[in-house]
Amino acid sequence: MRGLWAVFVAFPAWADTPVFVDETVGSGLASVYAGDWQYMVGGGVSAFDCNADLLPDLVLAGGEGAASVWVNRSGAALRFEKAVSGVEMTGVTGAYPMDIDSDGVADLIVLRVGENVVMRGLGACRFERANEAWGFDGGDGWSTALAATFERGAEWPTIAVGNYVNRKEEAFPWGSCTPNWLHRPGEGGFAPPVELTPSYCALSMLFTDWNNSGQVALRVSNDREYYKGGQEQLWHIEGEPRLYTEAEGWARLRIWGMGIATDDLDGDGLPEYFLTSMADNKLQKAVAQEPLVPKFADIAFKRGVTAHRPFMGEDLNPSTAWHAQFGDVNNDGLADLFVAKGNVDRMPDFALHDPNNLMLQQADGTFVEVADKAGVASMRSARGGQLVDLNRDGLLDLVVVNRREGAQVWRNTTAGGHWVGVRLHQDGTNPDAIGARIEMRAGDRRWLRETTVGGGHMSGSLGVQHFGLGVAEGAEVRVVWPDGSVMGWTPLAADGVWRVTKGAAPVAE
């Protein structure tokens, strides 16, 4: 294992409460995640540049309605135009962007109730079905989670698909979790998928190097509502997939797992994991020991991120959490946490008016709720979401998909600290360097970001990695590329996006 970093001690925090402006109406974004039982989960949004204008465009799941692609026309204000993209399929629960064929144009992996579809990016935000061309067996399931990476040395990606209950067992779905699939490279595309069994109704998946070993594992968050004998999972992925066992230190956890967010909150070089659920949510930190084993302590209560019930309003029943994502919304150098909330479907024992959370990390590592003050405490029934800089002003904006109600988008107008954006690139296979590890430092502060596809609740981004820097006017970046080679510490000026290409000096974008 590589050496652990010293734990961050102090860094001047930018104390501003973020300010978001709801620009849903003016933006033109209009999409509803519609449908009944089969759409009680899902409802993702992905953000990536599909027309090479450097602005992240959006793909929103529509459930029973059609999925939609929205071309980003934002200037100072946020604005979107609906594209004719080829993605207008029904049954979509979410879509993740990834350059599958390494042609420099992002493709899409579309998860559905029914056949999953890989779509080749054609540019100009148009896509075409590529299942047959790439040998991708989309199956016929109820797909609700995805993680993707390029295994070391592979010319083609590895995609893990999480599946939910057997939708044909609608009268008695409990215990009918269907197998998850691992699509690995094959001849000229994907090999037939192998089943990742046992499978326990996955609602989020993430390839992550949990122990900084240089080898990713597959973390799977499962919905205990439907499995029998199940639990959260961590898979060894090298060679034949196999589960981490109790003998290896894995500790059983059984929650209504719905989403995974990750960040290195304390700068120790190891990622923490926030797991969404119903009532209390979990924040896991690896228990310090040598050698490190996959044993995690729940520090949510200590850090103030249980987010177990609405923090405002009169409905004090337990909350239901879905997408979660860390991001520094006020650029103070500390990762904050957004959590999308919404009742599953008229469950009276859980909050029916369940505001989304935006929790600011403080210098002492605790979090403080500011969603109401920041203007993003929507009471709609949220599912997916993304914190992403939609107008390239250095501030993370917010887009949220809601069930049976319109999606919402907020522009971040916070007068925050400095920031820097990093867009990784490498020539040849895997041009977006999925699987790379970005390390950043400024003064005593260190940041870690794994470039990955997956996690959240059916939602993700591809492109610029955003780092808030607080008062620092620059930072140094170090990249561990997917092949294990390392770009040494390299200075970056604050308040701009840098294209960092393997083997070349960073270039301002």
Partner 1 sequence: MLRNLVFALVFALSPAMVQAGEAGPVMRQWYRLVLELVRHTPTYSPPVASRSFAYLGVTGYEVVANGTPGLTSLAGQLNGLTALPRRPRMVYDEAVVMQAAMALSVRAFFGNTGPSGQQAMDRMEAVLAAQVAEGVPPDVVQRSTELGQRIAQHILDWSASDGGAVVENMGFPREWVVSGAPGRWVPTSLVAQQQAPLLPGWGQNRPFAMPAGSTCDLPPPPAYSEDPESAFMTQAQEVYDVSKALTDEQKTIARFWSDDPMLSPTPPGHWVALVLTLVDREGLDTPRTADALMRVGVGVADGFIGCWWGKFEYDTVRPVTVIKALIDPKWEPLLITPPFPEYPSGHSTQSGAAAAVLSAVFGADYAFDDPTHEEDGIAARPFASFRVAAEEAAVSRLYGGIHFRAANEAGLAQGACIGGYTVALRTLP
User: Residues interacting with partner 1, by CB under 8 A?
Assistant: 37, 40, 170-175, 224-226, 228-229, 254, 278-280, 298, 300-302, 306, 308-309, 316-318, 344-350
**By C-beta, is 54 or 297 nearer to partner 1?**
297
> For partner 1, which is the closer residue by CB, 318 or 406?
318
Query: Could you check whether the bond before residue 291 is cis, i.e. omega within 30 degrees of 0?
Result: yes
Q: What DSSP assignment string belongs to 417-484?
A: -EEEEEEEE-SSSSTT-TT-EEEEEETTEEEEEE--EE-BTT-EE-SPEEEEEET-SEEEEEEE-TTS
Q: Please give the helix or strand (H or E) that residue 193 lies within, else none.
A: none
Task: Locate the DSSP E strands across 299-403.
Answer: 321-327, 336-341, 357-361, 367-369, 382-388, 397-402
In the complex with partner 1, which residue's Cβ is closer, 103 or 169? 169
Minimum distance of partner 1 from residue 256's CB (angstroms): 8
To partner 1, the closest distance from the beta carbon of 171 in angstroms equals 4
Question: Do you find a cis peptide bond into 310, omega within 30 degrees of 0?
Answer: no
Closest separation in Å from C-beta 310 to partner 1: 12
Calpha distance 300→297 (Å, rounded):
9
Non-local CB neighbours of 144 within 8 Å, separated by 6+ positions: 41, 42, 93, 94, 111, 162, 163, 164, 201, 202, 203, 458
Q: d(Cα 421, Cα 499) in Å, to the nearest integer?
A: 8
Residues 6 or more apart whose CB falls under 8 angstroms from that of 247 comprise: none
Give the distance from CA 241 to its chain's centroid.
Answer: 23
Cβ 350 to partner 1 shortest distance, Å: 7
Nearer to partner 1, 207 or 350 (CB): 350
Query: How near is the Cβ of 144 to partner 1 at its closest, in Å?
Result: 14
CB of 302 to partner 1, least distance (A): 7
Question: Considering beta carbons, is residue 222 or 414 the nearer one to partner 1?
Answer: 222
Shortest approach of partner 1 to residue 305 CB, angstroms? 10
Identity of the residue, 258 or 278, whose beta carbon is nearer to partner 1 in the bound complex: 278
Cβ closer to partner 1: 51 or 176? 176
